[in-house]
């Protein structure tokens, strides 16, 4: 009987510890990767971000997102979208790992405006998969 009580107690403590770790890990995911640009975002900087990562073409899917539609994507990955910043466009530069169904890398950008190349890449979309 004592063994059963010990197992139940250990499982409860382990579950609570995992919940706290997961909550804190999700917060750090966003808060440690935020950058504000008080000017125009150059698409070359977007390309540079992805080149700085060692991506596996068969597994990693680079994407850029602005404002709205990304929230649907986040529901699937269990991450909360960061709050917007008044007067700024909110962008996410990210890499989705297909093998784990999770976001591997993400950079949140608050920018005043986008250069013409970045606008062309988005077109009428808010979430663009890059190749």
pTM: 0.69
75-131, pLDDT tens digit by residue?
A: 555 555 566 788 999 888 989 888 888 888 888 899 999 999 999 999 988 888 897
The pLDDT value recorded for residue 33 is 79
pLDDT at 66 exceeding the cut of 80? yes
The pLDDT value recorded for residue 68 is 58
Q: Which three-class secondary structure string do you get for 45-97?
A: HHHHHHHCCCCCCCCEEEEEEECCCHHHHHHHHCCCCCCCCCCCEEEEEEEEE
Average pLDDT, the chain: 76
The pLDDT value recorded for residue 104 is 85
Contact (Cβ atoms closer than 8 angstroms) between residue 88 and residue 111: yes
């Amino acid at each position: 009987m004592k063994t059963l009580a010990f197992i139940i107690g250990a499982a409860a403590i382990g579950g609570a510890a995992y919940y706290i770790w997961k909550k804190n890990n999700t917060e750090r995911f966003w808060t440690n990767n935020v950058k504000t640009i008080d000017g125009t975002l150059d698409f070359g900087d977007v390309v540079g971000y992805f080149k700085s990562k060692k991506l596996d073409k068969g597994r990693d899917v680079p994407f850029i997102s602005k404002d709205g539609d990304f929230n649907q994507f986040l529901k699937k990955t269990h991450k909360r979208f960061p709050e917007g910043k008044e007067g700024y466009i909110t962008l996410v530069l990210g890499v989705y790992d297909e093998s784990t169904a999770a976001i591997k890398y993400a950079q949140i950008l608050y920018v005043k405006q986008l250069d013409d190349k970045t606008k062309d890449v988005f077109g009428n979309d808010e979430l663009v998969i890059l190749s």
